[in-house]
Structure formats: C-alpha cells, structure tokens
Amino acid sequence: MPEGISDTQRSALDLTVAAITGTGAPGTSFAGQSVDGGDAIVGTNGATASARGLLVAGIASVELVKSVVLRDPFGGTSAVPGTIATFSIAARIIGSGTVNGLIVTDAISDGTTYLPGTLVLDTDTLRDAEDGDAGSASGNAGISVNLGDLSAPVEHSISFDVVID
C-alpha cells in the first residue's frame, strides 16, 4: 500500500500473467517442459491471461477508552478506603480492515486491590486464572483480555472492580 492511503480508498488494477514455460499460438509445443518431463503444449488462450479488478484499502485502528465509576461505603462517590472502583475499557476497532491478535492489558493501581471474579468481557464473566477463556486477572499482574482477530467496525467492553485500600 502506498504511504498516505486512506481507508476504503480504491484503485483500479490490471493483471496479466504468462506461463513460465512460454507463450505462443495454440498448439505450440515446448519439448520436455511439462510437469512429468513430456512436452508442454500451449492451450487456446496462448498461455496468457488478463484480468481487470479493483483494489480496496482496508485500514483499521484501535481505540481504547477507559472510565471509572466509584461506589463508596457510605452510598456516595468519594475515593475513600473501602470504595469500589469499577473500571470499564471500551475497545473499538475503527475503519474497515482487521486487527490481528489484540490483547488488552491494564495494571492494578497502587493503593487498590483487585476484587476476584469481577473481570467481564461484554456480558461474560471471565475466570481470573490463565485457562481456556479470553481473560486473566490478579492483583500482581493486572488484567489481560485476549480479543483475538477483529474485523472493523466492532466494539467490545471490558470491566473489572478494585477496592481502594
């Protein structure tokens, strides 16, 4: 792709191919050039072909937006010890291309403790252990969610809770 190309930009292209053994009028023979060592014979198309097509650029970008909601022990939204902070990460793939192997990670902030069992991808609760599902979480390692290969446009939501120490 040329530098500076934009998403969904189109370009016409012409493709011409020719047989590696040679081209010519139908029936032309190339001695000993076939796969099994016999003669290669040019078919009705002269051992060439042309096609016209359209190339459409598919460019995707990743946008991660993180937000937090606080619920303190007194029914308010103050950041005091015992407050539960629910973090949400919106992972958006924008454009028309594909992002391969997207893994979203986030550290657990100092002065907070991860609340086990709160890691959620979209509406599915993920197990904290590194096992068969898309996520893992711990107080030391933070959270990690493997979103895999994604074709734009798409959005996923990741959330988890911590408590302020």
Domain boundaries, the chain: 10-56, 60-164
Q: What is the pLDDT of residue 1?
A: 59
- pLDDT value for 8: 84
Q: What percent of the chain has pLDDT over 70?
A: 99
Task: Pick the more confident residue, 22 or 1.
Answer: 22
Q: Taking the C-alpha atoms of 136, 82, 80 and 66 in order, what is their torsion angle to the nearest 10 degrees?
A: 20
pLDDT at 37: 87
114-138 pLDDT, tens digit each: 999 999 999 999 999 988 899 999 9
Whole-structure pTM over 0.85, yes or no?
no
Q: What is the CATH number of domain 60-164?
A: 2.60.40.740
| Dist. CA 31–CA 105, nearest whole Å | 62
pLDDT at 11: 84
Res. 2: pLDDT tops 90: no
Q: What confidence score (pLDDT) does residue 36 get?
A: 87
Instruction: Give me the count of residues in the chain.
Output: 165
